[in-house]
Amino acid sequence: MQQTESTTHFGFQDVPYGDKQMLVDSVFRSVARRYDLMNDLMSGGLHRAWKAAMIGALNPPRGTQRFQLLDMAGGTGDIAFRAAEAAGDGFRATVCDINADMLAVGRERAAKQFLGERIAFVEGNAEQLAFPDRSFDAYTIAFGIRNVPHIDGALKEAHRVLKHGGRFLCLEFSHVDVPGLDRIYDLYSFNVIPQLGRLVTGDADAYRYLVESIRKFPKPAAFADMIRAAGFARVSWQPMSGCIVTLHSGWRL
C-alpha cells in the first residue's frame, strides 16, 4: 500500500491521514451491533472456517500454562472467544480496539459467556499500544489491519509487544486469483454487499468502504515484505477460498 505523509486511502478515496481514523471509527460505530450478523451474511458463513484456521494456527496451550493473547481490532470478541474455547485454564486475552462501540458489544458477549475473568477489553490504537515491551505470547488481528492508517507502524508495535518466540497472525481479505471467480467476486462485492449493509444495518456506505478498502490492501507477497520489515522472522502466508482471504504469520525470534 503506497502512502504519503499527507494522504491515505479511505476505500478508493484519498483523504488526509488525520481524517482516516475518524472515518473508519464512524464506519464501525454505525455497524457495531450487527457486525457479526453481517459477517455471516457476507461470507455465507465462511468467515467461521477462516477464523477456525486462525485458531488452529494459534494453537493455544490446553493446560494451565500461562498464555497471553493480544487480539487487536477484535472489539466484538469473536477471535478471543474462539481462542478461549480452544485453550486451557492458563489462557488470558486482551481485546484491544479503537472503537468503543465494538468493545461494548464484546464486553456484553463476554459477560453472557462468563468469560469476564479471562478476557479483558481495552480501548487503544494499533499504532500506539499502551502495553509494555514483550508482554504477549501471541498477537492476532482479523480483518482489521487494512483499516489502520499506518500499517507499518501497527506491525512494528505488534513486534514490540510480543515476547521472544511470540507469534503474529493476521487474517485479512486478499485478492482473488482464480480466473472467473475474480469477476463473480467483484460483482458480488460491489453490488450485493452494500445492499446487504443497507438492509441489515441501514448503512450501505460503510460496507461500500469495506469492499473498496480490500482492493487497496497489498497482495500477499507485498504484505509479507511489510511484516519482515517490521522485524518478524519465518514469515509465511496461507491463501484460503481462492485467495478471498489470506492468513499471514510471523514470529518474533
Give the model's confidence band at 38: pLDDT under 50 very low, under 70 low, under 90 confident, else very high: low
For residue 186, the one-letter residue type is D
Q: Is residue 134 exposed (0-12), middle (13-18) or buried (19+ Cβ within 10 Å)?
A: middle
Give me the mean pLDDT over the 45-61 stretch: 92
Q: Which residue has the higher pLDDT, 231 or 148?
A: 231
Q: pLDDT value at position 137?
A: 98
Contact criterion met (CB below 8 Å) for 208 and 187 = no
Q: pLDDT value at position 204?
A: 72
Question: What is the DSSP pairing of strand 245-251 with strand 233-240?
Answer: antiparallel
Please name each of the domains of the chain with its CATH number. Answer: 7-251 (3.40.50.150)
Give the model's confidence band at 22: pLDDT under 50 very low, under 70 low, under 90 confident, else very high: low
Rounded to the nearest 10 degrees, what angle do helices 17-31 and 204-216 cross at? Answer: 130
Reply yes or no on whether the pLDDT at 21 is more than 60.
no
Reply yes or no on whether the pLDDT at 26 is more than 60.
no
pTM of the model: 0.83
Q: pLDDT value at position 58?
A: 97
What CA–CA distance (Å, rounded) separates 68 from 92?
Answer: 5
Residue pLDDT, tens place only, 81-127: 999 999 999 999 999 999 888 899 899 999 999 998 999 999 999 99
Reply yes or no on whether the pLDDT at 225 is more than 90.
yes
Reply yes or no on whether the pLDDT at 132 is more than 80.
yes
Give me the mean pLDDT over the 71-87 stretch: 94
Contact criterion met (CB below 8 Å) for 120 and 90 = no
Q: pLDDT value at position 28?
A: 61
Q: pLDDT value at position 27?
A: 59
Residue 72 neighbours by CB under 8 Å, 6+ apart: 96, 97, 126, 139, 140, 141, 144, 145, 154, 158
DSSP 165: E
Q: pLDDT value at position 31?
A: 58
Q: Give the CA-trace dihedral at 54, 59, 63, 64, to 10 degrees.
A: -70
Closest CA to 20 of 248, 220, 225, 216: 216
Give me the mean pLDDT over the 52-63 stretch: 96
Reply yes or no on whether the pLDDT at 43 is more than 80.
no
Reply yes or no on whether the pLDDT at 30 is more than 90.
no
Q: Which residues pair with 246 in a beta bridge?
A: 172, 239
Q: pLDDT value at position 1?
A: 36
Give the model's confidence band at 33: pLDDT under 50 very low, under 70 low, under 90 confident, else very high: low
